[in-house]
Amino acid sequence: MEEANASAASRFGRHRRATVHTLCRNGPQRLAFTPSRWSNELIANLQSFSITPLSRDELPVDTVELARWMVGKCLVHDTRQGRVSGRIVETEAYPVGDSTSYAYRGLRSYNGALFRVRGHAYVRLVYGASYTINMSSEEEGVGAAVLFRAIEPLDGIDLMRARRPGAKLVDLARGPGRLCAAMAIGPEWDCADLCGGNALWIGRLNPERLEPDIARVASTKRIGLTREMHEPLRFYVPGSRFVSGPKRLLEPIGRNEGLNVSPGGQS
């Protein structure tokens, strides 16, 4: 325990742990996990498979490492109308001490989810217009987050289209606000445990070889910021047309727009 505390102190410096007393606004919504299907609109040549829930123990205990690791994983929402899911193709890291993070000024009434143990949702209204979903990314009491920026739609594409009328498939959930709109993620999910058996959860694809090799996950600078803009803290699947933002900010990647289905994928 002393070694762990010393390690945390060396990593976090003056950003000490906060004591979290906030409660989720609503009780957890539990639904049984059911097999998930790939949309044949995306990859008709693959057999159906399931999405397996991720446990907290699988999540790296480091914000930057976790942001990279989550690329290729899945975000799933089992709604009353049916399942919507997507493969995460883009994330951003907001580590401890980052002045652009909502956790930078310490624990507040509005950001308690960021100080929960890694794997909890932080849902925030941005510019008074749309919601975004972040995930807490450190130990209990340490404020940091991973922002889910974009997904490649899998299940429930018709439901997503109903929520985003007129949007092209590629634009259904390309960008954090569009993602939440397409997946029906609102403020009721703030503080929800994404590893806790709720209707909103994170998972991995089966077979696991469908995930991108971690060495192939690309990084670049974050977007939409006015400071701390130059660190490579934005992670994405190279070649994916579902990645958001200006294409000029992405590295040259050729024409690989599909899933990495080579046998050597991340396990």
Give the structural domain span for 142.
Answer: 33-249
Assigned token pair, 226:
């006015």
- Report the Cα 208 to chain-centroid distance in Å: 18
More confident residue, 139 or 3: 139
Q: Phi and psi dihedrals of 29, rounded to 5?
A: -100, 105
Residue 75 included in any domain: yes
Contact in structure between 66 and 137 (CB atoms under 8 Å): yes
pLDDT at 123 over 50: yes
Residue 261 included in any domain: no
Residue 73 included in any domain: yes
**How many domains in the chain?**
1
Q: Per-residue pLDDT tens for 125-162? A: 998 889 999 999 999 999 999 999 999 999 999 999 99
- What pLDDT was estimated at residue 250? 64
Q: Which CATH number belongs to the domain containing residue 46 in this structure?
A: 3.10.300.10
Q: Cα separation of 81 and 101, whole Å?
A: 34
Residue 56 included in any domain: yes
Residue 1 included in any domain: no
- What pLDDT was estimated at residue 128? 86
Residue 94 included in any domain: yes
Contact in structure between 153 and 163 (CB atoms under 8 Å): no
pLDDT at 45 over 50: no
Q: Cα separation of 125 and 130, whole Å?
A: 6
Residue 258 included in any domain: no
Residue 264 included in any domain: no
> pTM for the full model?
0.78
